[in-house]
Amino acid sequence: MMFNAALLVLALAAPQQQASPPAPPQPTVQPAAAQAEYIVGPQDQLTITVQGVAELTRDATLDQDGSFDFPLIGRIQAGGKGVRAVETEIRSRLIAKGLLTNPSVNVEVKNYRSQNVYVFGEVARAGMFKIQGNANLMSVLAEAGFNNKSGALITITRWPKGTRPTGGSATNAPNAEVIKVSRKDLELGRAQTILLQDGDTIIVPESEKFTIQGEVRTTGIFELDGEMTLLQALAVAGGVTDRGARNRIEIQRQGVDKPLKNVKMSEIVKAGDIITVPKKRI
């Protein structure tokens, strides 16, 4: 790395000016599922190292607007960016000022700010959870007491900047980002890359259910465990009795005016279905 030593010494000794070149456009934050690094924000403390230049190696705490002062180059807007993007910003500013020609800049998070996420729904302990750093969805759900009897689709509501969650619904924030995660992805470990951000609201729905009545060995309400056929649903209820008419089974389905009649055993059962097995005709 080469730098103008005289210029650097003079600049360090001179009074610092707040004015700085316009910052390049802030990169768009990617959805949580694709995000690979921690996104810094207010009250995070960063350790910034410029290799070979001890005067520019220091800690910096982000102000409430997500920015901090750095010697020679002025104010850095870091909030909402990953640490690699902050490195690039500092490096480009040092080059633009003519202080260094090819600086090696490293940024690490020394102390994480306190962040809050919210979990509602079918968990043992709903409410607010404090997270630090790269907390992912699976770790927070484990802390909340997630179980595999929940509904099939977990949602994360990511609120627009400047708004805070008031409950589980995004009705009052139509521009909120909604991330959907299947329970199967969680169970198979495919959701480990889903990182959370401050203010995220996680909704874990109740398990989906269906009802069986009539000529089966056990009538009642049953949990819909993934994709189930009518044959599998009947098996859960103990099967059709000797008095049951298997060829005249009906399903009352939500949103459908008339019952489905003479339903085949391969029919896929849906949440809210009411399955009726009538008696055989004499």
Per the model's pLDDT, the better-predicted residue between 91 and 3 turns out to be 91
The pLDDT assigned to 19 comes to: 40
For residue 116, pLDDT beyond 50: yes
Query: Quick one: pLDDT band at residue 166, thresholds 50, 70, 90?
Result: low
Per the model's pLDDT, the better-predicted residue between 100 and 152 turns out to be 100
The alpha-helical segments, DSSP class H, found in 59-188 are 83-96, 137-144, 183-187
Per the model's pLDDT, the better-predicted residue between 161 and 10 turns out to be 161
Per the model's pLDDT, the better-predicted residue between 16 and 78 turns out to be 78
Q: Which residues of 233-271 are buried (b: 16+ CB within 10 A; e: fewer)?
A: bbebbeebeeebebeebbbbbeeeeeebeebeeebebbe
Query: Among residues 116, 271, 98, which one has the least CA distance to residue 196?
Result: 116
Query: Quick one: pLDDT band at residue 165, thresholds 50, 70, 90?
Result: low
List every span in the chain annotated with CATH 3.10.560.10.
115-204, 209-277
Query: Quick one: pLDDT band at residue 162, thresholds 50, 70, 90?
Result: low
Collapsing DSSP to helix, strand or coil, 19 comes out as coil
Contacts of 160 (CB under 8 A, 6+ apart): 173, 175, 176
Query: Quick one: pLDDT band at residue 211, thresholds 50, 70, 90?
Result: very high
What is the tens place of the pLDDT at every residue in 133-143? 778 898 899 99
The pLDDT assigned to 115 comes to: 82
Burial (0-12, 13-18, 19+ Cβ within 10 Å), 144: buried
What is the tens place of the pLDDT at every residue in 218-269? 999 998 877 899 999 999 999 999 999 999 999 999 999 999 998 999 999 9
Classify strands 105-111 and 153-158 as parallel, antiparallel or unpaired: unpaired
The pLDDT assigned to 151 comes to: 79
- Number of Cβ within a 10 Å radius of residue 86: 24
Taking domain 5-111, whether its CATH number is 3.90.550.10 is answered by no
Tokens of 247: 């060829």
Q: How far apart are CA 12 and CA 199, in angstroms?
A: 39
- CATH fold of 115-204: Outer membrane lipoprotein wza fold like (3.10.560)
Q: What is the CA radius of gyration of the chain?
A: 29
Classify strands 201-204 and 115-121 as parallel, antiparallel or unpaired: parallel
What is the tens place of the pLDDT at every residue in 36-55? 467 888 889 999 999 999 99
Write down the CATH number for the domain with range 209-277. 3.10.560.10
Mean pLDDT score across all residues of the chain: 83
Q: How far apart are CA 181 and CA 247, in angstroms?
A: 38
For residue 281, pLDDT beyond 50: yes
The answer to whether the CB of 115 falls within 8 A of the CB of 198 is yes
For residue 187, pLDDT beyond 70: yes
List every span in the chain annotated with CATH 3.30.1950.10.
5-111
